[in-house]
Amino acid sequence: MKIAVFSTCSYDEEFLEKYNTDHELIFFKQALDYDNLSLTKGCDAVCLFVNDQANGQILSALAENGVKLILLRCAGFNNVDLEVAEELGISILRVPAYSPEAVAEHAIAMIMTLNRKTHKAYNRIREGNFSLEGLMGFNLHSSKVALIGTGNIGKVMYRILKGFGCQISAYDPYPDLELRSDGLKYASLEEVLKDADIVTLHCPLTEQSFHMINGQTLRYFKKGAMLINTSRGALIQTSAVITSLKSGGLGSLGLDVYEQESGLFFRNLSEKVIQDDLIARLISFPNVLISSHQGFFTREAMRQIAETTFSNADAYVSGKILVNEIKP
């Protein structure tokens, strides 16, 4: 099968070529959009990542070009119009889980960094400044954590936080029975937010979860609380978070995702002027830590993504049951 692979970096090519099961791969660094649809002509499938667009208009053009399959090398699928894809007969296959430990561990790294300010200490020491002024944190042990979402990543996060001795409560429309039997208490979003020292997001982006952290829900937060998002950028209304940071409501913010990240993340823009005023403002805060959708980025996760992507492709070609297919 001939597959056009979009939004590729050197590491994508390395792992996809290593675990390729005899498909013809054509790599493109750019994301799939209206301007480069011609690149898919003659291809049987396209392989997309989180910031590639597959709305109705793009899907129609893909179908005209002969594309019958979209391979998502990610878990999220909010960038795909599933209804239009089904109408056009285009199958959508994803990678539902790839090293949930990677993302959970990155969230913990952000919590620890913001709390104990190790990034600031590192820079101070390099400049000969050995002062501890302004570096005080708090014990994670016995701190209260609101776990928003208890899917694969949320479950790993729960176990890590439990190891730290945190007091954990959770919000999820679909409580996990295993975690509940282990003692995890579920409550409404308002209830888990109002008491938490740390709020960490681990849920998919849907119509219901879009901007779930907004001007209203931020009022439930305890003053000085920490907010961590390693899931999807649009779970957070960025302008509302900036207002809360400016007023001193939020104590700190860690973002591995950003709702307008498609024009920024996975690129080297060090020689350019950032045109996004919201992220420029976020970067200016001393209590904000941003990484560039790095949470998934481990060797183990990259291998799992490649293996599952080709397993999906092989199943489609051989007419087997598509266990990772997404339907509307």
Q: Which residues are catalytic?
A: 232, 261, 293
Residue 208: Cβ within 10 Å count: 9
Strands 69-72 and 45-48, by their bridges, are: parallel
Contact 14, 304 (CB under 8 A): no
Distances (CA, A) of 26 to 20, 52, 105: 12, 16, 33
H or E element at residue 225: strand 225-229
CA–CA dist 193, 171 (Å, integer): 9
CA–CA dist 304, 273 (Å, integer): 36
With H, G, I as helix, E, B as strand and everything else as coil, classify residue 16.
Answer: helix
Token pair in block for residue 46: 């396209």
With H, G, I as helix, E, B as strand and everything else as coil, classify residue 245.
Answer: helix
Distances (CA, A) of 230 to 100, 121, 257, 327: 11, 24, 6, 25
- Please measure the distance between the N-terminal and C-terminal CA atoms of the chain and give it in whole angstroms: 25
